[in-house]
């Protein structure tokens, strides 16, 4: 089906508005050129195309000093753009960096910008294209082929990482807002993220998809078991590569954001024990993928990214390998108004190990009286209803209504079960990935459970910290099941006398979300269901949080 079929109310103009809104958060520009000593080289600029074996033409521009190269040749840095953009995203940065005495190149990935071909939604296809670009660069007569690196964010961070895990040899890479579990994170725990649907909804002035990818949007909106089977079969193909991370021979600097609405940092955390190369990792916040655009952290991240490139490509001994391997930044109150939105303050800490020293996996059980307890409950059941009052409601209508408004609310009932701890005796830090152990049964064939983690101040002010989502798409009615699943990795400092709140809901949205707005983090079930959650010593349902300095009540 054409993505702009008039039967679908998401119009071309609406999609362009969505594109501008969403990718204002998605763009990750490498703006740290000012951190390098400016040698003031005059620059030669050449636009050209690289023609691939399948006939695809990649639109490229290269920049390099109009001067005799140093012994061995210029070091080279290839910029890779974010999804739905083009080489123009990074051209100014590449030109400025070339003035420092480097060869730089930008190019538009297939199906984007002026490049021909069709996008395969950030896959081995694009990684193989990138390999051809690197082959071109290494053959340049004035290049040092031993000192070629790459930098990018989102799609631009994923493609080089995938390529080096598949055998490409580079001096170093900077991979921002990426994950080696690309498809897994979009349909994590059988729950479809809203951002996957958005990404598949861009019209062909933004991205031109290959036929299989183009069908995925319709599969999601049709919302049937058969279409889910198609999505879960085709989406992972050529996209997840965590099983190849150990094969990489390229030093890597990683940045992810805890509030990422596209990719879960959990995928990068899982690479820590797999990497056999020098690495450094930043986990915090940047102006990307829906995270808080907190300027001090953006500037700091630019600095340490630049140091990584200086060390590996510029041979500058700046001590970056002697610094802490993990830079972690935790959200914390107070929340303050920034240029774009009200956001958390952010508090950094540093570690050479992950998990950091002092992390304890603390279990919170769902007790009577809406309490969270650190000990198993004797016997208790709670019921999460998924009430569809008008069964004519389908996924397409819900998406078009952005899951809000009188008509939507007359057809779909949002349910919430709220549980809280006693006031915390002292501040404690969340650092890592929540896990949920769930015993449940449903009276139908689809059951969804969304767990939200909040901090509630003594004043009553409450804000979401992270979440965990799970959808059982083939449950057997009235049969008790057990599942353990991960949530969205995060770090947050809970204040003294605050409470930790867990909300279990059938619709994972919040009020005043600056990125998702009224839309949910994952698409809900459109099937009426009575979902029973069991809490007992023999069937202990709990959420486990990795905490530092937590004192049990």
CB 95 within 8 A of CB 45: yes
Alpha-carbon gap, residue 499 to 423, rounded angstroms: 5
**What are the structural domain ranges in the chain?**
12-324, 359-548
pLDDT at 40: 86
Given a contact cutoff of 8 angstroms between Cβ atoms, the answer to whether 297 and 286 are in contact is yes
Q: Which of 25-29, 249-253, 303-307, 340-344 has the lowest mean pLDDT?
A: 25-29
Question: CA separation (Å) from 224 to 26, 173, 219, 394, 459?
Answer: 30, 41, 8, 11, 45
Q: Is 314 helix (H, G, I), strand (E, B) or coil?
A: helix
| Helix ranges restricted to H, 346-461 | 395-400, 406-411
pLDDT at 37 > cutoff 80:
no
For residue 2, pLDDT beyond 90: no
Structure confidence at residue 39 as a pLDDT band (50, 70, 90)? low
Which of the four pLDDT bands, split at 50, 70 and 90, describes residue 13? very low
Which CATH number among 2.120.10.60, 3.20.20.70, 3.40.50.300, 2.60.120.260 corresponds to the domain 359-548?
Answer: 2.60.120.260
Residue 35 scores a pLDDT above 50: no
Q: Give residue 223's region: left, alpha or beta (phi > 0; psi -120 to 50).
A: left
The yes-or-no answer to whether 12-324 and 359-548 have a common fold is no
Q: Which CATH class is domain 12-324?
A: alpha beta
DSSP labels, 480-512: -EEEEEE---EEEEEPTT-EEEEEEESS---TT
Could you tell me the CA-to-CA distances from 283 to 268, 336, 346, 351, 456 in Å, in that order? Answer: 10, 21, 11, 11, 24
344: its two tokens: 């958390």
pLDDT digits (tens, 9 = 90+) for 128-186: 999 999 999 999 999 999 999 999 999 999 999 999 999 999 999 999 999 999 999 99
C-alpha–C-alpha distance, residues 269 and 285, integer Å: 16
Distance of CA 63 to the CA centre of its chain: 31
Distance CA 25, CA 263 (A): 13
pLDDT mean over 229-246:
97
CA distance 304 to 461: 35
Looking at residues 510-538, what average pLDDT do you find? 96
**pTM of the complete model:** 0.93
pLDDT number for residue 501: 98
Q: How far is residue 338's CA from residue 296's CA, in Å, rounded to a whole number? A: 12
CA 364 – CA 380 distance, rounded (Å) = 14
Residue 10 has pLDDT above 90, yes or no: no
Specify whether the CB–CB gap between 192 and 522 falls below 8 A. Answer: yes
**396's tokens:** 């397409």
pLDDT of residue 191: 98
> What digits encode the pLDDT tens for the residues 58-105?
999 999 999 999 999 999 999 999 999 999 999 999 999 999 999 999
**Whether 498 contacts 457, CB under 8 Å:** yes
The arithmetic mean of pLDDT across residues 211-236, rounded, is 97
**Res. 9: pLDDT tops 50:** no
Taking only the tens place, the pLDDT of each residue in 386-436 is 999 999 999 999 999 999 999 999 999 999 999 999 999 999 999 999 999
pLDDT(8) > 50: no
Average pLDDT of the chain to the nearest whole number: 93
Q: Please, what's the largest Cα pairwise distance for the chain?
A: 78
Encode pLDDT of 373-387 as tens digits: 999 999 899 999 999
H-state helical runs in 88-123: 91-98
The Cα angle at residue 195 between residues 191 and 201, in degrees rounded to 5? 115
Per-residue pLDDT, 553: 81
**Residue in 77, 79, 80, 85 with CA at minimum distance from that of residue 26:** 85
Instruction: Name which of 501, 525, 24, 454 is nearest 261 in CA terms.
Output: 24
Taking CA atoms, 339 is separated from 292, 294, 331, 510, in Å, by: 10, 9, 18, 21
Q: What is the DSSP letter of 106?
A: E
Q: What's the CA gap between 269 and 278, in Å, rounded?
A: 15
């Amino acid at each position: 089906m054409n993505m702009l079929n008039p039967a679908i109310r998401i119009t071309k103009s609406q999609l362009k508005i969505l594109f501008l809104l969403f990718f204002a958060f998605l763009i990750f520009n490498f703006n740290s050129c000012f951190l390098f000593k400016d040698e003031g080289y005059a620059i030669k600029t050449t636009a050209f195309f690289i023609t691939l074996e399948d006939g695809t033409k990649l639109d490229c521009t290269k920049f390099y000093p109009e001067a005799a190269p140093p012994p061995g040749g210029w070091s080279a840095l290839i910029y890779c753009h974010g999804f739905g953009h083009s080489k123009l995203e990074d051209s100014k940065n590449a030109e400025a960096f070339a003035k420092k005495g480097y060869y730089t190149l930008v190019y538009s990935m297939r199906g984007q910008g002026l490049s021909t071909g069709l996008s395969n939604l950030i896959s081995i296809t694009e990684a193989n294209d990138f390999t051809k670009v690197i082959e071109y660069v290494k053959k340049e007569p004035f290049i040092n082929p031993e000192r070629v690196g790459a930098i990018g964010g989102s799609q631009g961070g994923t493609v080089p990482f995938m390529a080096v895990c598949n055998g490409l040899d580079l001096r170093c890479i900077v991979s921002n807002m990426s994950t080696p579990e690309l498809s897994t994170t979009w349909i994590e725990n059988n729950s479809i993220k809203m951002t996957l649907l958005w990404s598949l909804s861009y019209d062909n002035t933004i991205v031109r998809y290959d036929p299989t990818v183009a069908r995925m949007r319709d599969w999601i909106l049709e919302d049937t078991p058969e279409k889910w089977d198609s999505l879960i079969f085709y989406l992972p193909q050529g996209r997840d590569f965590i099983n190849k991370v150990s094969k990489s021979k390229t030093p890597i600097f990683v940045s992810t954001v805890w509030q990422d609405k596209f990719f879960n940092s959990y995928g990068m955390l899982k690479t820590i024990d797999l990497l056999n190369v020098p690495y450094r990792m930043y986990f915090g916040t940047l102006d990307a993928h829906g995270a808080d655009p907190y300027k001090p952290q953006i500037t700091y991240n630019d600095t340490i990214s630049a140091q990584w490139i200086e060390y590996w490509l510029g041979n500058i001994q700046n001590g970056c390998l002697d610094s802490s391997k993990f830079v972690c930044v935790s959200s914390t109150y107070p929340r303050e108004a920034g240029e774009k939105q009200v956001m958390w303050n952010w508090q950094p800490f540093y570690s050479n190990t992950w998990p950091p020293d002092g992390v304890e996996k603390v279990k919170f059980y769902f007790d009577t009286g809406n309490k969270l307890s650190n000990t198993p409950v004797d016997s208790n059941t709670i019921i999460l209803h998924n009430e569809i009052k008008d069964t004519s409601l389908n996924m397409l209508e819900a998406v078009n209504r952005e899951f809000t408004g009188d008509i939507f609310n007359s057809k779909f009932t949002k349910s919430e079960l709220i549980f809280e701890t006693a006031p915390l005796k002292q501040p404690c830090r969340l650092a890592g990935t929540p896990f949920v152990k769930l015993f449940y049964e449903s009276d139908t064939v689809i059951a969804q459970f969304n767990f939200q983690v909040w901090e509630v101040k003594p004043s009553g002010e409450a804000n979401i910290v992270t979440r965990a989502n799970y959808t059982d798409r083939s449950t057997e009615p009235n049969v008790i099941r057990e599942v353990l699943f991960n949530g969205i990795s995060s770090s947050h400092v809970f204040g003294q006398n605050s409470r930790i709140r867990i909300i279990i809901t059938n619709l994972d949205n919040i009020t005043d979300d600056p990125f998702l707005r009224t839309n949910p983090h994952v698409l809900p079930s459109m099937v009426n269901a009575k979902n029973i959650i069991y809490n007992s010593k023999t069937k202990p349902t709990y959420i486990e949080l990795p905490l530092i300095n937590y004192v049990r009540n």
